[in-house]
Structure 1
Amino acid sequence: MKMEYQNISNSSQFACTSVVVSSTVLGLCFALGVPGNIAVLVMLTQHLKEGSFTPKLMLNLAVSDLLSLISLPVWIYALLNGWVFGQGLCKLFSYVVYWSLYSSVLSVTLLSVQRYLQVLYPQRWAKLGQKGQKGLIFGIWTSSGALGSYALYFRNVKQMDRLPVCHQDYRNNQDKLVVLLVETLVMFLVPLFSLLFFYLRLHQRISQSASFKSHRLTKLAIRIVVAFFIFSTPCMINNLVLMAVSWESDVSNNVTGALFFINSCVNPFLYAFSARTLRCRRKQHSDELQHQNETE
């Protein structure tokens, strides 16, 4: 009896520690990520008229990251005190988070495809035109909204460990498997194979070229994708474990979920690290316009 009580006490202490750690990580993500992504939005809006699709796609990624971060104070409060905001807001906030996360993932995936085509097959990419590019951005948001819509159905407020919790309330094990399988495929496996295929092919083709050093935006895109996989891998491993077992751990969900949000606040630092590249591109674009005006 004493040993059983000790195990329960240790488990409870470990759960409390995970909540504190997760809340701290989410708080840092909010403090660093929100102003960082706002700065990125301001910086990237200066490059939208240059015609390149990469800054537009990065802007879309920054908007997605910002949307996923602005609700973090609500989730931090819920981790520490329970969900006290009602069933409707539970569904709404969950949907916005899933919508923005799917948008981030699809933006990162399209980034790998776009850099591959624009660098190696510029004529094919040019055929897409401005309307086609806008269609791709619109497609990202509509697809993300559709993919994240299950949160409106499965997210509910339940009493767990004396506190109300906003969590995935699956009707049966089959629903759980379907949702986790979609998340694993769309949020991890599809982007992973896109990264391996497009960037490896891209590296093989341009590493032999003397102009490889000029493809700094490609390097920035690779850094963004690599950072995404570093912080999303624990969450996807957690999903695979949940598909294999019948029970669910709030500790693993909280910790891996907090790690997933780190990616949204890391991206602005990657942009800042490569800000010189974007300034050089902007100056080059201005010089080209000035040269065209002089020749006319």
Structure 2
Amino acid sequence: MWHQTKVSFLKVLPYPSLSRPQLHIHISSCEMTMENMNVSNSSHVGHTSVGMLVSSSILGMCCVLGVPGNVAVLVMLARNLKEGSITPKLMMSLAVSDLLSLISLPVWIYSLLYGWIFGHGLCKFLSYLVYWSLYSSVLCITLMSVQRYIQVLYPQRWAKLGRSGHNGLICGIWTLGSLFASYALVYRTVKKTNENLVLCSPSFRDNQEKIAILLLETVVLFFVPFLSLLCFYLRLYQRIRQSSFSINKFSKMVVRIIVTFFIFSTPCMIINVVQMAVTKELEDGTNVLGALFFINSCVNPFLYAFPAGTPPCRTRQHSSDQALTDTTE
């Protein structure tokens, strides 16, 4: 095939100065370029199969399972939403934040496998959207534990908030989450890795900025929600245990929430602590362990909304009794 191409090409040459050796050199250089491209592609595929296939598989599983689950939660709660209760509103807010973090996963999966091709602007915007939804989701989980604690132990104080207070708390979650996530607009950028793969990844100006951001993520995304879940739900467990209500469903729910959050959040926080101590970028470990954090958004509907069923429509004479009933159902 190459010989036929050389003969046909020489027949139409208007100048005798281009000889066969020169043409052979041009063809040989073209063949060498193709070989280099094949070697580069094979090395890229090899790197992907080793370093990023696991994280992309985890993200794909979260997207397939989490998106329908959170959509089902929104449909279920929208049909049974009560104006006077904050619990279904918090569940809807949690489902929305989880859904926002999951719908962009196909883009991240593609970039892990083939590189980032969507430009700097979309890199910053999608990074901000993911961080905003993750912070809002964690803050919503934290508020749910605080809400149930206050509603049971201090029902009169909670009743004073009213509908406007409930809406203010939910708006505060999203506002605070947007502020926490704002740093993603600055430090997330498009750059090449050591394997010449273009990714949308963090780029810190110095080590102090790196430590400050990782410390913020570790405190807000792990320690604050985990300690609040542990503290408030254990106090609620003690309160319900002293009452005449059944604690079987509630105790199982508490164990599921705390254990699941701890299992899928701890690896990501460990890698953050490790990155604070070392100067080298841990690209593969960050991608894999960071992908585990999205499992929280995938399993939240099964932890919060589905076990609770539809919001209770019965009325209670005492607000603390109503809070206990809402919590155990």
Q: Which residue is equivalent to 2:309?
A: 278
- Alignment-derived partner of residue 165 in structure 1: 199
Residue among 125, 134, 156 paired with 2:167: 134
Q: CA deviation at 1:222?
A: 6.1
TM-score of the two chains, using structure 1 as the length reference? 0.85
TM superposition score normalised by structure 2: 0.77
1:176 alignment partner, one of 207, 210, 220 = 210
2:269 corresponds to which residue? 236
Secondary structure of the structure 1 residue equivalent to 2:296: helix
Q: 1:108·1:224 contact (CA, 8 Å) conserved in 2?
A: no
- Please tell me whether Structure 1 or Structure 2 has the larger radius of gyration of its CA atoms: 2
Distance in 1 (CA, whole Å) between partners of 2:209 and 2:235 is: 37
Q: Deviations over 1:32-83 (max 9, x none)?
A: 1111100000111233225221111111111000000000000000000011
Distance 1:103 1:80 in 2: 28
Could you tell me which runs of 5 or more consecutive residues in structure 2 were left unpaired when the two chains were aligned.
1-44, 316-329
Distance verdict in 2 for CA 1:219–1:45, change over 3 Å: farther
Coordinate RMSD, CA, aligned: 2.4
More helix by share: 1
What is aligned with 1:268?
301
Contact residue 112 and residue 221 of structure 1 kept, 8 A: no
State which of 83, 91, 94 in structure 1 corresponds to 2:124.
91
- Give how far 1:22 is off: 1.0
Matched, 1:77 2:77: no
SS of the aligned residue for 2:82 comes to: helix
Cα deviation, 1:71-114, whole Å, max 9, x if unaligned, reads 00000000000111000000000000000000011001111101
**How many angstroms does 1:269 deviate by?**
2.6
User: What stretches of structure 1 of length at least 5 have no aligned partner?
Assistant: 1-11, 286-296
Residue of structure 2 aligned with 1:245, choices 278, 283, 293: 278
| Number of equivalenced pairs | 273
Shift of 1:194: 1.0
**Secondary structure in 1 matching 2:191:** strand
- % of aligned pairs identical? 62
**Corresponding letter in the other structure for 1:181:** L
Distance 2:254 2:167 in 1: 20
Paired residue type of 2:218: T
Shift of 1:273: 4.6
Shift of 1:229: 2.5
Relative to structure 2, which stretch is displaced further, 122-131 or 222-231? Answer: 222-231
